[in-house]
Structure 1
Amino acid sequence: MKTQTKRMAKIGLCIGIALMLLSMVVASAVQTSGGRVSVKSLSLETDAGYVMTAYLFIPDTATAETPAPGIVTSHGYLNNKEMQDANFVELSRRGFVVLAIDQPCHGNSEVMSVNSASGVYQGALALSRMPFVDVTRIGVTGHSMGGMSTNAAVASDNASGAPFISAVLLNNADPTYQDGDGNFANIYGSRDVGVVSAQYDEFFHQWIDDEGNRHEAPDYLEWENAQSFLNFGADPAEGLEQREADTVYTDTVDGEECIRVIYRPHIIHPWSHFSYQATVGVIDFFTRTLDAPNPIPATNQVWQWKEAFNFVGVIGLCLFVINFIILLTKTPVFADVGSAEPVAPTKVADGKGKIWFWGSLAAGALFSMLIYRRILAFGTSLPVSQTESMGLGLWSFLCGLFSIVSMLVYYHTYGKKHGMDLAARGVKISLKKLLKTIILAVIVVVVAYSCVFFAEYFFKVDFRLWTLAIKTFNPDMLGQAVLYGGLFMTFYVASSVSANAFNYNDIGGRHSWVNAIIVALFTTLPALILPWIQYIHYFTTDLMLWPASNMHILWLFPIVLILFGTTLISRAVYKATNNPYLAGIVNGCIITLMTVTNTCTTLV
């Protein structure tokens, strides 16, 4: 059986490596349009005095002799440049030079004491100085906070004395409707301006009417500010033509014809990163306004293939981690970290045992769900360098403590009386074995992230799905990982011990994978139920149930996959090693690194 386990682990490791390589090759081929677009990783010393990192996409048709229009794309708060892949893939394949930036304090850009809004303008300045970019055709676009940075770019461009930005697309962000005196105005002048406005945006297009009623994004076109924008800054009090979404309106401003348009994809705010409809709006707008050198219909999109194969990389990395761990435990150095034979599920002794199983799972899920909003509100209010990491870390820590208490109560009130052997299940562990477990886990994490750095260095891609991302990082992020790592580690180690040493049993039938799915689903339930409640209410009433928790609820989207996936990873490793700590430590390290490298970091 030991030989069989080792052979299967070798096969799994090879499959994982093959999937990661396939992910890198295909994702790179898509984002380079089969080699017709070159991708460069830049580190820019900006005029504002900080270093900003970016990806630069240069179509082979963009040269000093035939300069092409250029576009700056920006992510939103707590994201990074890779989140703009739908935009940079589709725009670059249409002949635009695209600069996808990491906003200050995000991605690999410089960390500062204040989250500056100047990133888009600094990116536009950089584009304007490139010899293969047509300075008369420069556009800017940003999602959410990136849209706010885009508005700031327009203000800086207006104040520069030599404005050069000609097209502005705000993606799930409000335009500037009024001037400094509070009067309705066209602050964009003769620029072409558009808005991609999600019909169910959770953060923008909100107002209180004269009767005190709250309105949110579904009512956006009824708002006088939206109508003023579509009427080129005219005062709604003068009686305006009621204008509609997805219609391009033209007017002449300062002797130049320009457009205003609001696209209304039927999506929520963060889905704009991952939306065919939203990407149609982006392509249509810049094709119209900047004259695409290689016009392709907006409905012809290939970025989804990049996203799909980015996720293939995630799957490959997970398979690599599982099987690399197992193989290391079969080496002489780490042989005593694992077991010689696979672990079989324990038998539940009686009906009380079943009640403990289902009750403890339900109690853990309920506790996690009930504390989430309050803990996140508290954690993100603290004066720390990464408020998201602190909020999620505190929640993880408390859920881990609850799991530990639950296991102790179970053992002393039921398990011990029914012959539960903590040593046989791997819970009781010697100090030497624990230290070797930690060393093995660190080796696995280092090698796993070497694959991520390899993907970025040679192919300019990472492993991700939507907002779930495993990406490279600067060395200073290791300090952040140490700062918050203990909070996450408490949960992932406790979760692994609970899911395996305590809950790996014959409940679920003769197929052990059924038990694994049950445990994984209960672990994931809080991250599923809270968004269901929030969005069912939003879609049925046009109002958010917990508007103050909008951001915190959105953070649960990637956590669904994280909680489900890490539970299955820990089960696979435990079955082969009888060591419940090993996968828990690996999971805790990787999730900590994922969290601290996909957020905003400020100097405190």
Structure 2
Amino acid sequence: MFALISGIGASLVQTAGGNVKVDDLKWETASGRTLNALLFTPANATAESPAPAIVVSHGWWNNREMQTPNYVELARRGYVVMSIDMYGHGNSDPLPVDEIAVGGTGMYDAVLLLADLPYVDRDAIGVTGHSNGARAANFSVPLDDASGDPLISSILLVDNDPLYVDGDGIYTNVYGSRDVGLIQAQYDEFFFRSYDENGVQLTAPRDYLGTPNAQSFLNFGADPADLTEEREGSTIYTENIDGTEAVRVIYSLPQTHPWSTTSSTAVGHLVDYFEETLPAPAPLDAGNQLWQLKEFFTALGLVGFGIMLVAIPRALLTTSAFRRLAVAPAEIAPLAGRVPKIWFWAGLAVSVVISAWSYVLVSQTPEVLGITFNAVPSFVPTGSVFFIGVWAAINGLAAAIIMIGAYFAFGRKSGMSLRGSGVLPGWKNFFHGIGLALTTVFLMYAVVFLVDYLFKTDFRLWVIGVKWFTPDKFGYALVVLPLFLLYFVANSIAINAFNRVTVAGREWVNTAILALANSLGPIILVVAQYTTFAVTGNLIPGFGGIFSIWLFPVILILAVAAIVSRKLYRATGNPYIAGFLNATVVVLISVSNTLVITY
């Protein structure tokens, strides 16, 4: 029911109540690669009355649905919109490590297709992208210049620096007569800093507007040393370039890098910018935004997906194929006395400390980072997932060591049975449980496929999304699955078979504490990072911004994993079922929402 409501509701929003046609495209581009994209065609766009068109793009390690706010609002206003999976992302072809800029990472190839559509105004094509999507726009400019028939007339960069200088390092107007705008986060984790000749940082992102780079951009490439006035943010500046009145503007917003993808303020500026440079066929006030409704419906679908993690295996336990697994765990009396309670609370505390400490450690390990950021050839096509997997495996090993210590310290002496608690369920039950987990995954993704097929929507909230994927993702998942299995299986055993201390005599209190403990390490790191950033204007030294961003979905995933583990263990007495289920689902979500690099 949640999935159905999610699909219908999200579809109604993104089609503007049926006034916008949505097509899921996959084609071989001019670069010889397969590109996947959603094409939004409003009813006003016809061969007799061509409409302006805009290519929108996500950032690195994301996919086309991350542009939901932009494509919903632009299509509502009559623009033809194409939201692409850049090469290496979503369901587009993998990206060769030595061809990062090919076809503007897909953006310019999308422009070429748009320009051939009879209902698109070839003289009114714009591009916009967030983070690496903005870099894709920068990649596309020289390709457009070299084409002999430039197609891009307007560019809006979001959270990535514009091009300031030419190949000789001299300030210049790289964009020519095109209109160019910039949405800049004052607390951007990656961009908008200035440095001296020795690479020492001079200014923080919140001071960007006053820097030579920003002032040169607003002055159409003029040398900052020659400027006599300081131009301001949110002001449209124009200049005649080769007979064309060109626009430059910077919108500087007090937000973080990933926030811009789900910011009504940023969307409002996007609407205003394109209304200024490519007037909308059906203009609406910038504050008139409905994309939040789609976000609500896709989030509702995500909740439904989480419920299915428990509801589907419970339903399968009533069938003849899996009925023998429906065995409640043996009643084990809670351990009394101070020692077990000390082990319980100390074990949680140590786990939280190890979780936070090991994450920072992995983020500073060159061997892991070389694979993560594709600096060295490896057999791992999804570097970011590998990074999280290494961290997960470390915590899985730590949990195993703590459990072994607890068993020999007091568990065995107090009569704890490894078989009765499910730690040793027997080989038959072990493999039968894996079958239940894999059947659950198949049925869950069947629902995801149907929603994608019928409504062209997925289940997501901001940076966490569950979407349909191409078969090659199974191979990518198998590469990293062992790392995640080590964590989620150990975690399920720890919070179930070794959880023999009651809290307030209530199961939900116990589950809530375990869910919080699972996520507390990442929560501490995120709070520390952004508190430091807000106070000083800079990140914690040695702890890069991407690492805190990757923790946003992890916090939710770890909390939900604890809840799922508790629910399924109480229905089966087998901690391995939830361990395999959680690991498999998390890996599939991860590899279908990240970058795939080939060597």
Counterpart position of 1:581: 576
Does the CA contact (< 8 Å) of 1:95 and 1:292 recur in 2?
Answer: yes
Q: 2:417 aligns with which of 405, 414, 421?
A: 421
Does the CA contact (< 8 Å) of 1:326 and 1:577 recur in 2?
Answer: no
Q: Distance in 1 between matches of 2:321 and 2:458?
A: 32
Which aligned pairs between 1:332-371 and structure 2 lie closer than 5 A?
A: 332-339=320-327, 341=328, 346-371=333-358
Does the CA contact (< 8 Å) of 1:227 and 1:240 recur in 2?
Answer: no
Counterpart position of 2:407: 411
Counterpart residue identity of residue 441, structure 1 = A
Q: 2:306 aligns with which of 318, 326, 340?
A: 318
Q: 2:49 aligns with which of 61, 66, 90?
A: 66
Alignment partner of 1:82 is 2:65: yes
Cα deviation 1:335-386 (Å, max 9, x = unaligned): 22221x5776852311111111101111111111111123244423123321
Counterpart position of 1:271: 259
Cα deviation 1:60-90 (Å, max 9, x = unaligned): 1111111100000011100011111011001
Q: Which moved more, 1:322-331 or 1:358-367?
A: 322-331
Counterpart position of 2:499: 503
Structure 1 SS opposite 2:450: helix
Counterpart residue identity of residue 254, structure 2 = H
Residue 412 of structure 1: CA displacement? 1.0
Q: Distance in 2 between matches of 1:270 and 1:478?
A: 28
Q: Distance in 2 between matches of 1:296 and 1:313?
A: 29
Counterpart position of 1:6: none
Alignment partner of 1:116 is 2:103: no
Residue 99 of structure 1: CA displacement? 0.6
Counterpart position of 1:452: 448
Structure 2 SS opposite 1:453: helix
Cα deviation 1:214-268 (Å, max 9, x = unaligned): 3221110121010011111111111232011111112221112121110112210
Counterpart position of 1:531: 526
Q: Distance in 1 between matches of 2:192 and 2:311?
A: 48
Does the CA contact (< 8 Å) of 1:345 and 1:512 recur in 2?
Answer: no
Residue 505 of structure 1: CA displacement? 3.7
Counterpart position of 1:47: 30
Alignment partner of 1:494 is 2:483: no
Structure 2 SS opposite 1:197: strand
Does the CA contact (< 8 Å) of 2:60 and 2:595 recur in 1?
Answer: yes
Counterpart position of 2:274: 286
Structure 1 SS opposite 2:138: helix
Counterpart residue identity of residue 426, structure 1 = G
Residue 210 of structure 1: CA displacement? 7.1
Q: Distance in 1 between matches of 2:335 and 2:121?
A: 72
Counterpart position of 2:480: 484
Alignment partner of 1:380 is 2:369: yes
Does the CA contact (< 8 Å) of 1:338 and 1:579 recur in 2?
Answer: no
Residue 181 of structure 1: CA displacement? 2.2
Cα deviation 1:462-501 (Å, max 9, x = unaligned): 1111111111111111011111101001111111111111
Which aligned pairs between 1:139-158 and structure 2 lie closer than 5 A?
A: 139-158=126-145
**TM-aligned CA distance change 1:343 to 1:269, over 3 Å:** farther
Does the CA contact (< 8 Å) of 1:504 and 1:516 recur in 2?
Answer: no
> Which 5+ residue runs of structure 2 have no aligned equivalent?
372-377
Does the CA contact (< 8 Å) of 1:349 and 1:418 recur in 2?
Answer: no
Does the CA contact (< 8 Å) of 2:330 and 2:420 recur in 1?
Answer: no
Counterpart position of 1:32: 15
Q: Distance in 1 between matches of 2:197 and 2:598?
A: 41
Counterpart position of 2:596: 601
Q: 2:195 aligns with which of 202, 208, 217?
A: 208
Counterpart position of 2:547: 552
Q: Distance in 2 between matches of 1:135 and 1:490?
A: 53
Structure 1 SS opposite 2:172: coil
Q: Which moved more, 1:169-178 or 1:497-506?
A: 497-506
Cα deviation 1:396-432 (Å, max 9, x = unaligned): 1111111111111101111111122222222221101
Report the TM-score, using the length of structure 1 for normalisation.
0.94
Does the CA contact (< 8 Å) of 2:335 and 2:500 recur in 1?
Answer: no
Which aligned pairs between 1:292-303 and structure 2 lie closer than 5 A?
A: 292-303=280-291
Aligned CA RMSD, in angstroms, stands at: 1.5
Percent of matched pairs sharing the same residue: 42
Structure 2 SS opposite 1:417: coil
Counterpart residue identity of residue 490, structure 1 = L
Does the CA contact (< 8 Å) of 1:343 and 1:575 recur in 2?
Answer: no
Residue 532 of structure 1: CA displacement? 1.1
Q: Distance in 1 between matches of 2:420 and 2:9?
A: 45
Does the CA contact (< 8 Å) of 2:344 and 2:501 recur in 1?
Answer: no
Q: Distance in 2 between matches of 1:61 and 1:319?
A: 40
> Which 5+ residue runs of structure 1 have no aligned equivalent?
1-17
Structure 2 SS opposite 1:198: strand
- How many residues are treated as equivalent by the alignment? 585
**TM-aligned CA distance change 1:345 to 1:209, over 3 Å:** farther
Q: Which moved more, 1:26-35 or 1:245-254?
A: 245-254
Counterpart position of 1:125: 112
Q: Distance in 2 between matches of 1:164 and 1:599?
A: 29
Q: Distance in 2 between matches of 1:178 and 1:281?
A: 26
Q: 1:231 aligns with which of 211, 219, 224?
A: 219
Does the CA contact (< 8 Å) of 1:215 and 1:543 recur in 2?
Answer: no
Does the CA contact (< 8 Å) of 2:127 and 2:154 recur in 1?
Answer: yes
